[in-house]
Amino acid sequence: MSITRRDFFGAGATAAASFALGRPAGVAPVTASPFWRVSRAGREAGRPAVIASANGLRGVAKALDLMQHGADPLDAAIAGVNIQELDPTDHSVGLGGLPNEEGVVQLDASCMHGPTRRAGAVGAIEDIATPSLVAKAVMDYTDHIFLVGAGAKQFALEMGFTPQDLLTPESRQMWLRWKANLNPNDNWLDHDDDVKGAYTHGTCNMNAVTASGDIGSVTTTSGTSWKLPGRVGDSPIIGAGQYNDNDVGAAGSTGRGEANIKICGAFFVVEQMRLGATPEEACLRALQRAVAMTEARLLDTRKHPRYDLTYYAIAKDGRYGSANMYEGAQFAIADAAGARLETCAYLFKRDDRPTGPVPAHALTH
């Protein structure tokens, strides 16, 4: 969709006035494109509700229960992602997260609180298992939004967080296997057989809306495995890894952070909802934009991306939706119908996934 700056602000004003009444005047619906398949025309509205990446299934159930008992939406969402951050078997976040190329686990997280319009984030923080809580502490106790590296860790220690070694035996073995297999002629012996755990790459994004319509959002990750030390992805960047506007809704992402950063994906999704798109439509539009902004080296001969990316969105009225670049992905949702996994909308069929070798970094998060 291409609009002028004048059209954007004009449509935005109309949307703000009529959001609760349905699609704003003058904003066309998303039309079905030959290359995307929408999983459903729309998701039912209902509050309270929580949406998350698939690894947040336990988390959405917890967050919903907390909100049903009066908890703040951000506190509830953070409690939800804490489950994954403290689970050593989830190698995508927190304790047990996969390390950088030097074997050091560096974590990223960000959060936003809709009612107060405040935000906090940390990047490349080490030795603290719950970066989502440190991000909230940055929001609650400082005039800053984003702390990184050694400064972020020092702040966490001053706030009373307990440091610990985040590299578990299993994640260490995964790192050693990667290192050994880098070069068949190096001095490291390959040892595939002694590591039974599968590689897992990911992030946990969670967005919550209370019964009264207040919103909280959070994203936490250990980032791309074997990344360059100091690499920061989209997760701690407000407007990329997650974003919310208490008048509209919230959105977040998992997948290739570098692709998402370039389109300010979470902000883009929320603004599409402001203009009248359903959450699912907004997520699909963000994927289209990401493909359009993808550099040639990450596209196959059919112009399909050699990476994965998923968006999750929830509107102020409780409608929700998610879309993945390729068919078959799932997301977690909890509302009056309970906590469950549902299927994402998508741009490309599973059969359209890139063939042949894919760069190792392209599918990580």
Nearest Cα to Cα of residue 54 among 240, 195, 255, 234: 255
Is the pLDDT at 5 greater than 60? The verdict is no
Query: Binning pLDDT at 50, 70 and 90, where does residue 23 land?
Result: very low
Task: Dig out the tokens for 282 from the structure.
Answer: 């907004």
**Mean pLDDT of the region 89-97:** 93
Nearest Cα to Cα of residue 363 among 325, 331, 311: 325
Query: Binning pLDDT at 50, 70 and 90, where does residue 176 land?
Result: confident
Nearest Cα to Cα of residue 43 among 278, 216, 235: 278
What pLDDT, on a 0 to 100 scale, did the predictor assign at position 45? Answer: 75
Task: Dig out the tokens for 50 from the structure.
Answer: 């929580």
Nearest Cα to Cα of residue 208 among 43, 25, 47, 28: 47
Task: Dig out the tokens for 74 from the structure.
Answer: 């951000």
Query: Binning pLDDT at 50, 70 and 90, where does residue 281 land?
Result: very high
Residue scoring higher pLDDT (25 or 334): 334
227 with 257: CB under 8 angstroms? no
pLDDT tens, residue by residue, 332-341? 999 999 999 9
Query: Binning pLDDT at 50, 70 and 90, where does residue 32 land?
Result: very low
pLDDT tens, residue by residue, 195-238? 544 444 469 999 999 999 999 999 999 999 999 999 999 999 99
What pLDDT, on a 0 to 100 scale, did the predictor assign at position 137? Answer: 98
What pLDDT, on a 0 to 100 scale, did the predictor assign at position 178? Answer: 86
Residue scoring higher pLDDT (141 or 352): 141
Query: Binning pLDDT at 50, 70 and 90, where does residue 355 land?
Result: low
Query: Binning pLDDT at 50, 70 and 90, where does residue 46 land?
Result: confident
Q: Which of 130, 200, 203, 224 is catalytic?
A: 203
Distance, CA of 155 to CA of 143 (rounded, Å): 13
Instruction: Supply the mean pLDDT for the chain.
Output: 86
Is the pLDDT at 4 greater than 50? The verdict is no
Distance, CA of 310 to CA of 207 (rounded, Å): 14
What pLDDT, on a 0 to 100 scale, did the predictor assign at position 192? Answer: 60
pLDDT tens, residue by residue, 263-276? 999 999 999 999 99
3-state class (DSSP) for residue 225? coil
Query: What DSSP state is assigned to residue 62?
Result: H
What pLDDT, on a 0 to 100 scale, did the predictor assign at position 38? Answer: 46
pLDDT tens, residue by residue, 117-171? 999 999 999 999 999 999 999 999 999 999 999 999 999 999 999 999 999 999 9
What pLDDT, on a 0 to 100 scale, did the predictor assign at position 26? Answer: 37
The pTM of the full predicted model, rounded to 2 decimals, is 0.85
The structural domains of the chain, ordered by start, are: 30-92+199-352 (3.60.20.30)
pLDDT tens, residue by residue, 289-317? 999 999 999 999 999 999 999 999 999 99
- Dmax over CA atoms of the chain, in Å, equals 66
Residue with tokens 């979470």: 266
- For the question of residue 203 being annotated catalytic, the response is yes
What pLDDT, on a 0 to 100 scale, did the predictor assign at position 193? Answer: 59
Q: Look at 37-41, 205-209, 252-256, 344-348 and tell me which has the smallest mean pLDDT.
A: 37-41
Q: What is the percent of the chain with per-residue pLDDT over 70, rounded to a whole number?
A: 79
